[in-house]
Chains A and B, each alone.
Chain A
């Protein structure tokens, strides 16, 4: 899986998160921040993670989720790391 594929998958996930700021959704990059740029409350991050697991048919490690940052690249990294380990 490439970083671009992971990012595209996250964008698909974010389209299902109704609270995401529509303007922020148009210009998502790996530097985008779920909270600062997409206007999401921190409680939504676990929903993004759970939906990303479903999107890529992966299961993330609980410790990795505990340490996860709020930038898109953090989730991209986690997706790639978990996919490689499988």
Chain B
């Protein structure tokens, strides 16, 4: 079903080591790393394997935490020092929800949506998060289970600050929209999954405008979970620690941030003279179906590409923004499934996690914004640190049932630039995957390219 066309008309975000979208943009295209040593992690010494992270401090985000007197580790209320969010709304929010609200306000401002439009029944919100409000819940549970205190010792905001769709709920209460309010969850595909869902809501006529994205609030608890799996990068300087496709990659960099985009039915955006940042040409998602929670699937990704081509039969992107986490298993399979779908030449691969790490539930939306900036700047972001490409087969290529290329990663050097490249970009594809074997891809183009 063709449905209606959908435009991207606004964006906003909270990005590691950046105070603004423009700073994020400048750093992306000057090949900078946004990854730093994280003091909160180094404080735990040998309890943690990894200590590098892409994060934004409260100060950088213009926020201040008020800590509980009875439980000094519990940030019971965040304060917006720049007075962008009223107190009654910061009271119900964890740090990720505050980022969702800040991102949404920026996206609305860029979209130039009037208050009547924002607060109509035709405007919806869908924003998700990968984590489960750990920062709030850990303190609540410590107080109750370990210290034997009354349940009320944590205060009255344990639920609203930790519930599954807290980010969407807080944004909806702030902007007072009357359309849908939901939060999709699909692990590290959450950010893109919410955007894809929002796209479908507009495409099929259920909403006219959507705020959509993902956030991953700073949480040492989340970091500990991945560190326990031994999947995080270690042994490198921060700026060198995320190295998708490099043969010495040894894990991803756990990062935090958030992004929200404003989507609008194309004709209405055009009619009011809105700036069309990009047009979404198609979205597809599926599951591996192999019963494996963690391992990426070449066959699942092949079907993802087939689905994307069913959305746009003339699919011919100049850039593929990959998930590219810097894990030993994932990057090779993703490169080979992309080659399987698009051939060996004619496009560049961008791996922005090489610059800011893996923002988990926020990855898909932050990287979606990176794609919007690539369209705007007509430059692809780099695969930073992809310096040494393997000249031997990846382990997956040596399996009996391997159906993909028999060439080594090193033979695709031309697809993997280690610095930003100026190149005409009319169309690009953005890919994200998640635990549970979920795969998602979206096709973006410049307005007027098709």
Contacts and interface: CB of A to CB of B under 8 A. Distances in A.
A16 B66 contact: yes
Interface in A5-50: 16, 18-19, 41, 43-47, 49-50
B88 interface: yes
Contacts of B157: 43, 47
Contacts of A73: none
A59 B150 contact: yes
Contact of B69 (A16, A18, A46): A16
A81 to B, nearest CB: 17
Contact of B150 (A41, A47, A50): A50
Listed residue (B69, B77, B155) with the most chain A CB atoms within 10 angstroms of its CB: B155
B414 interface: no
B310 interface: no
Interface residues of A, number: 16
B197 to A, nearest CB: 30
Nearest to B155: A47
B306 interface: no
A65 B154 CA distance: 16
Contacts of B87: 18-19
Interface in A39-73: 41, 43-47, 49-51, 53-54, 59, 65
Nearest to B78: A18
Nearest to A19: B87
A18 B155 contact: no
A50 B66 contact: no
Given A18-B91, A19-B91, A54 B69 contact: yes
Listed residue (A18, A46, A49) with the most chain B CB atoms within 10 angstroms of its CB: A18
A59 B70 CA distance: 14
Contacts of B336: none
Contacts of A54: 69-70, 153
Interface string B35-69: 00000000000000000000000000000001001
Contacts of A46: 152, 155-156
A44 B156 CA distance: 7
Contacts of A18: 66, 77, 79, 87, 91
Contacts of B88: 19, 41
Contacts of A65: 152
Nearest to B67: A16
Contacts of A50: 150, 152-155
Given A16-B69, A41-B88, A54-B70, A49 B77 contact: no
Nearest to A54: B70
Contacts of B155: 46-47, 50
Contacts of A44: 91, 156
Given A19-B87, A19-B88, A47 B69 contact: no
A42 to B, nearest CB: 9
A44 B76 CA distance: 12
A41 B66 CA distance: 19
Contact of A49 (B66, B152, B154): B152
Contacts of B77: 18
A66 B69 CA distance: 24
Contacts of A51: 69-70
Given A18-B66, A54-B70, A43 B156 contact: yes
Contacts of B152: 46, 49-50, 53, 65
A43 B161 CA distance: 13
Interface string B137-170: 0000000000000101111110000000000000
B286 to A, nearest CB: 42
B69 to A, nearest CB: 7
B98 to A, nearest CB: 14
Listed residue (A16, A47, A59, A65) with the most chain B CB atoms within 10 angstroms of its CB: A47
Interface in B61-119: 66, 69-70, 77, 79, 87-88, 91
B317 to A, nearest CB: 48
A16 B71 CA distance: 13
A19 B155 CA distance: 14
Interface of A: 16, 18-19, 41, 43-47, 49-51, 53-54, 59, 65
Interface of B: 66, 69-70, 77, 79, 87-88, 91, 150, 152-157
Given A46-B156, A47-B156, A53-B153, 16 more contacts: A18-B66, A18-B79, A19-B88, A19-B91, A41-B88, A43-B156, A45-B156, A47-B157, A50-B152, A50-B154, A53-B152, A54-B69, A54-B70, A54-B153, A59-B150, A65-B152
Q: Closest 8 A-B residue pairs measured CB to CB?
A: A46-B156, A54-B70, A50-B152, A47-B155, A19-B87, A43-B156, A47-B156, A18-B77
7 contacts: A18-B77, A43-B156, A44-B91, A45-B156, A53-B150, A54-B69, A54-B70
